[in-house]
Chain A
Amino acid sequence: MSNMLEVADLGHTYGDYEAIGGLTFTVRAGELVCVVGPSGCGKSTLLRTISGLIAPSRGDVSLKGSHLAVVFQDYSRSLFPWLSVQGNVEFPLRKLPRAERRARAAEALEWVGLGAAARKRPWQLSGGMQQRVAIARALAYRPALLLMDEPFASVDAQTRFELEDLLLRVRREHDTTVLVVTHDIDESVYLGDRILVLSGSPARLVADLDVPLPAERDQVTTRTDEAFVALRSKVARLLNVGKPSMDVEKWAAAERESLSETVSS
């Protein structure tokens, strides 16, 4: 499989504050990779540098493809209130002829099950539906990489499960390459083919873990699967959950060594 995204020694500092301290990783075509890290560890900065919203202080980001799409956490502020749902999904497609734009938007709305809501305004929809509009807009753009920034952190638990399954379905059906940034360990294990674990600021790569779960996942059975439970504990330990006073770096380095024997097998 070819690499869709290559990030090499990516670092970013704001003044004296080092948000990201040299990240190197790749995302292969068709893969869904989750980036998980403690709150305020520079995940957002990572996403903003990859998406080109800010220029990184050092390092390279290279995308195999012309463009990427982003789904932000705050769907209510990311959809254009003066446009219909259809208009929002058509927004990235303005360079296409009108008929094709229409068709692509309608198609993407069908994928997320919102074909009937095309003429509504986003603010007339529930939070979960609004986030589905944002996902449809991103998919309609046919991005080489779909970046998602805490995409389900602002919806209730039930909706969150629905949206997670929706994401797994559409990315399987359309072979989309996805990079999800999240602080939620369970979510990263449930969604990911691979998990990149980051340390606190400055963000450094602590571990790059394969998720040993089948492609078909289910909210009830997958979450009770032994492999799922084992991996989420491993990620939690890597993130030093519940041990805030420990030296994350040292601890993570030790953990990385111990893991390299067990995980790589």
Chain B
Amino acid sequence: MRAFTRGLLGIAGFLALWELLGRSPLIPAHALPPPSVVFGELVVQLTSPDFISHVVATVLAVLIAIGIAIAIAVPSGLVLGSVPAVRHATRAIVEFLRPIPSVALIPLALVVLGFGPETKITLAVYAALWPILFNTIYALDELDPLLVETSRVFGTGRVGVLFRVALPSALPFVLTGIRLAATTALIVMVSVELMAGSQIGLGYFIMEARSGPGRMDQVLVGTVVAGAIGVLLNSGLERVRRRWVAW
């Protein structure tokens, strides 16, 4: 509870500072609207079906991207983590692909995939793959050999060990990877919406508010909502971990 109170104090301090800066003559009012204005606009936007559809579009795309990333990265991680030959063969290419920023792939993705939601989802999947993949591989490295021996003594075969021992034992690490990946996916999603001429989504809303009427209060509404989605994703996944993977 103390920590919670301190958290609230921190937020209050941040808002107070922002309000002060926003109202000070040093910064033009249209460049940094104070939180009182931004949150007023937030209430207005939250009742606008248009804005809600932007939010839903982004959240849905993020969830789809996380789902696809899990479906690709967990099985790949299991293979790479349990078959050293495959891992060695792919190490160079993985180490090359991993540091490429997703946004650097925007032009390529636009040419190959076009301007639909496939592009932003693909790029978010690309960014979200790595934390899940590496956490899965790491988890298999950490797999306790005694658990494997125990299951083998009780007549479990290779495939059985993979699904009944390796996978559940990797789950806490995999979930941590998914939590990291969710934040990454959100960042990439909003960035691509903002930069790649998407027609819908939070990033598009921010871009429109900025380039059309120059409504910085609306830009900041988009930013605040993006941050809130990130917090909800993170705490939601943390709750899942605590509820289901409590060891």
How many pairs of residues, A versus B, come closer than 8 Å at their CB atoms?
43
Say yes or no: A82-B152 contact (C-beta < 8 A), given A72-B146, A74-B146. no
Asked if A69 is at the interface (CB within 8 A of a chain B CB), the reply is: yes
Q: B154 contacts A82, CB within 8 Å?
A: no
Most interface-central of B151, B154, B165, B171 (chain A CB within 10 A): B154
Q: Which residues in window 231-256 of A have CB below 8 A to B?
A: none
Q: Which of A53, A68, A82, A121 contacts B168 (CB 8 A)?
A: A82
Say yes or no: A53-B147 contact (C-beta < 8 A), given A82-B168, A82-B171, A123-B247. no
Q: Scan A52-71; emit 1 where CB is below 8 A from any B CB, else 0.
A: 11000000000000011110
Which chain B residue has the least Cβ–Cβ distance from A93? B154
Total interface residues on A, CB under 8 Å, equals 20
Q: Scan A125-143; emit 1 where CB is below 8 A from any B CB, else 0.
A: 0000000000001000100
Total interface residues on B, CB under 8 Å, equals 18
Q: A78 contacts B168, CB within 8 Å?
A: no
Q: Scan B140-170; emit 1 where CB is below 8 A from any A CB, else 0.
A: 0000101101111111000000001100110
What are the residues of chain A within 8 A of B164 when measuring CB–CB? 91
What are the residues of chain A within 8 A of B150 when measuring CB–CB? 70, 72, 78
What are the residues of chain A within 8 A of B149 when measuring CB–CB? 53, 70, 72
Q: B245 contacts A82, CB within 8 Å?
A: yes
B-side interface mostly:
helix
CA distance A74 to B147 in the complex (A): 10
What are the residues of chain A within 8 A of B152 when measuring CB–CB? 53
Shortest Cβ gap from B145 to chain A (Å): 9
Q: A77 contacts B144, CB within 8 Å?
A: yes
CA distance A77 to B247 in the complex (A): 12
Q: Which residues of B contact A (CB under 8 A)?
A: 144, 146-147, 149-155, 164-165, 168-169, 171, 245-247
A–B Cβ pairs within 8 angstroms, 7 of them? A69-B153, A74-B146, A78-B146, A78-B147, A81-B169, A82-B169, A91-B154
Q: Which residues of A contact B (CB under 8 A)?
A: 51-53, 67-70, 72, 74, 77-78, 80-82, 91-92, 121, 123, 137, 141
